[in-house]
Copies of this chain bind each other. A is one copy, B any other.
Amino acid sequence: MATRIKEILKTGQPSEAVTVQGWVRTKRELKEFTFLEVNDGSSMANLQVILDPALTDYDTVLKTIGTGASVEVSGTLVPSPGKGQNIELKADSVILYGDCPADYPLQKKRHSFEFLRSIAHLRGRTNTLGAVMRVRNACATAIHTFFQERGFLWVHTPIITANDCEGAGELFTVTGLDLTKPADFSQDFFGKRAYLTVSGQLEAEVMAMAFQNVYTFGPTFRAENSNTSRHLAEFWMVEPEMAFCDLEGDRDLAEEFLRYIFRYVLETCAEDMAFFNDRIDNTVIATAENIIHNEFARITYTEAIELLEKADRTFEYPVEWGVDLQSEHERYLAEELFKKPVIVTNYPKSIKAFYMRLDDNDKTVSAMDILAPKIGEIIGGSQREERLDVLIRRIEEQGMNPDDLWWYLDLRRYGSVPHAGFGLGFERLVQFMTGMGNIRDVIPFPRTPLSAEF
Distance of A219 Cα from B220 Cα, bound (Å): 11
Among A137-145, A317-325, A352-360, the stretch in contact with B = A137-145
B172-A212 in contact (CB<8A): no
A156-B236 in contact (CB<8A): yes
Closest chain B CB from A444 CB (angstroms): 6
Distance of A72 Cα from B124 Cα, bound (Å): 51
Evaluate whether A4 and B212 lie within 8 angstroms (CB atoms) in the complex, with A121-B206, A141-B144, A410-B122 already known: yes
B211-A447 in contact (CB<8A): no
User: Is residue A63 contacting chain B, with contact meaning CB distance below 8 A?
Assistant: no
The contact of A414 among B68, B153, B203, by CB within 8 Å, is B68
User: Is residue A274 contacting chain B, with contact meaning CB distance below 8 A?
Assistant: no
B444-A223 in contact (CB<8A): no
Closest to A410 in B: B121
The contact of A97 among B70, B189, B407, B417, by CB within 8 Å, is B417
Closest to A445 in B: B158
A101-B413 in contact (CB<8A): yes
Evaluate whether A450 and B98 lie within 8 angstroms (CB atoms) in the complex, with A124-B210, A133-B207, A234-B159 already known: no
Number of A positions contacting B (CB below 8 A): 105
Scan residues 1-38 of chain A and give those whose CB is less than 8 A from a CB of chain B. 2, 4, 6, 21-24
Evaluate whether A41 and B133 lie within 8 angstroms (CB atoms) in the complex, with A182-B180, A415-B69, A416-B98 already known: no
A190-B415 in contact (CB<8A): no
Closest to A41 in B: B211
Which 9 residue pairs are nearest across A and B when measured between Cβ atoms?
A: A124-B210, A98-B416, A41-B211, A179-B183, A121-B407, A70-B415, A190-B452, A191-B450, A137-B153
23 residue pairs from A and B, CB less than 8 Å apart = A22-B212, A41-B153, A41-B210, A42-B212, A68-B415, A124-B207, A124-B211, A125-B210, A133-B207, A141-B144, A156-B444, A158-B454, A159-B159, A160-B196, A160-B221, A172-B174, A172-B175, A179-B179, A179-B183, A190-B452, A191-B451, A203-B454, A206-B444
